Amino acid sequence: MHLLYPFAKRFIAGEDPHTALQAIRRLHDRGFLSSADILGENVDTREQADSARDLYIELIKKFETIDIPMDFSVKLSQMGLNIDRGFCRQNLATILTTAGRNTVRFDMEDSDHTQPTLEMCLELHSQHKNLGQAVQAYLFRTKADVDQLIERQISVRLCKGAYKENPSIAYTSMEDIRENFLVLGYKLLKEGNMPAIATHDEYLLQKILSFVEKENIPPQSFHFEMLYGVARDLQNTLLKKGFQVRVYTPFGKAWLPYTIRRLLEKKENIVFVVKNLFKEFFGLRKIK
Ligand SMILES: Cc1cc2nc3c(=O)[nH]c(=O)nc-3n(C[C@H](O)[C@H](O)[C@H](O)COP(=O)(O)OP(=O)(O)OC[C@H]3O[C@@H](n4cnc5c(N)ncnc54)[C@H](O)[C@@H]3O)c2cc1C
């Protein structure tokens, strides 16, 4: 087993659809919505993209039978964007058609993929109204992208952004990223179609809660969205306050790149991993 798996387990709902389905059911029973994500990105072959597409189709069909309203998050590089755009488009169209009344949302990847992802979203949304898009507050371009998505009434998930980007195209200080997040978040809450505010940052959440109260934004007109295994106390608090909370629930065998992004987001995560490696290496486990 990979050395990082004990850490990964905290952030992923297992490696197969069955365990993910159980985790999503448990979340649903407690009042949470979910966005299911099959882990995988930057595939090199058509076969890999086809099999990722088929997994999504299988998953969507499983959910039809249990009737839980779902979001399905998809990365375009997992559907073959780096191989051939037309091929990727066809895979996405198949998923969107199968999803029916459930939402399919494009995750936003690193900046090499921003423009093609948005173009694909605008193109496919004309035939598939169940398509939503994630955007990143750290990119300078996102303000213009949000305006365009609002104009088309495409549902947007706003997050800070998880990749290392060049300062020529992205804010790099926490202060600037937060400021832009709030400008975009307020606009989406007022003018967007069912936006999702995707952060665990208490500073931002407090500002958003004050804005929602001051502007009388109905709790049913947007979602808070957080990652599986992160800030579970805040997820519960927002739910208790009467807001809709969606939990982004990734699963699958290709968990390493996702886990590394989560690992780098908090220094305590690094400490956790190092402690585990230390225990394993020196045979210090209590249960032997
Ligand atoms: C629902 C959802 C979908 C996302 N989709 C995308 C996407 O499509 N593209 C993209 O680039 N990024 C995506 N992200 C990731 C996002 O861009 C950030 O990297 C991530 O959310 C951390 O930023 P934050 O706003 O929570 O603030 P931070 O300042 O990073 O975190 C605030 C607090 O949250 C807690 N926290 C945050 N992350 C962790 C962690 N890994 N482990 C433990 N505690 C943590 C800590 O208490 C931390 O102090 C998504 C995030 C969410 C919540």
The domain that holds 162 is classified in CATH as 3.20.20.220
Pocket probe for ligand 1: among 177, 184, 200, the residue whose CB has the most ligand atoms within 8 Å is: 200
Report pLDDT for 131: 98
Asked if residue 72 belongs to a domain, the reply is yes
Residue 75 belongs to what domain range? Answer: 5-281
The protein residue whose alpha carbon is closest to atom 32 in ligand 1 is: 201
Asked if residue 30 belongs to a domain, the reply is yes
Who wins on pLDDT, 274 or 107?
Answer: 107
Asked if residue 146 belongs to a domain, the reply is yes
pLDDT in tens, 245-284: 999 999 998 888 888 888 888 777 777 667 766 665 566 5
Per the structure, how many domains does the chain have? 1
Pairing of strands 103-106, 245-251: unpaired
Asked if residue 286 belongs to a domain, the reply is no
Average the pLDDT over 230-244 and give the result.
95
**Cβ contact 140:170 at 8 Å:** yes
Average the pLDDT over 72-87 and give the result.
97
Q: How far apart are alpha carbons 236 and 275 in whole angstroms? A: 29
Q: Is the pLDDT of residue 285 over 50?
A: no
Q: How far apart are alpha carbons 146 and 127 in whole angstroms? A: 20
Q: How far apart are alpha carbons 239 and 150 in whole angstroms? A: 26
CB atoms within 10 A of CB 6: 15
Q: Is the CB of 160 under 6 A from ligand 1?
A: yes
pTM of the model: 0.93
Q: Is the CB of 142 under 6 A from ligand 1?
A: no
Confidence at 178, pLDDT banded by 50, 70, 90: very high
Asked if residue 33 belongs to a domain, the reply is yes
Asked if residue 225 belongs to a domain, the reply is yes
> What's the Cα-to-Cα distance from 186 to each of 189, 197, 213, 254, rounded to whole Å?
5, 10, 12, 35
Confidence at 181, pLDDT banded by 50, 70, 90: very high
Asked if residue 287 belongs to a domain, the reply is no
Asked if residue 288 belongs to a domain, the reply is no
Q: Three-state SS string across 150-176, please? A: HHCCCCEEEECCCCCCCCCCECCCHHH
pLDDT in tens, 163-173: 999 999 999 99
Here the tokens at position 155 are 């549902």
Percentage of the chain beyond pLDDT 90 is 77
Q: How far apart are alpha carbons 85 and 258 in whole angstroms? A: 24
Please, how many CA atoms are within 13 Å of residue 45, restricted to the half-sphere of its CB?
Answer: 3
DSSP sequence for the chain: --TTHHHHHHHSS-SSHHHHHHHHHHHHHTT-EEEEEE------SHHHHHHHHHHHHHHHHHHHHHT--EEEEE-GGGTTTTT-HHHHHHHHHHHHHHHTTSEEEE---SGGGHHHHHHHHHHHHTT-TTEEEEEETTBTTHHHHHHHHHHTT--EEEE---S---TTTB--SHHHHHHHHHHHHHHHHHHSSS-EEE---HHHHHHHHHHHHHTT--GGG-EEEEETTS-HHHHHHHHHTT--EEEEEEESS--HHHHHHHHTT-HHHHHHHHHHHHHHHTT--S--
Percentage of the chain beyond pLDDT 70 is 94
Residue labelled with tokens 């088309």: 152
The protein residue whose alpha carbon is closest to atom 47 in ligand 1 is: 231
Closest ligand 1 atom to Cα of 181? 25
Confidence at 174, pLDDT banded by 50, 70, 90: very high
Q: Is the CB of 162 under 6 A from ligand 1?
A: yes
- Range in 18-22, 115-119, 181-185 with the lowest mean pLDDT: 18-22
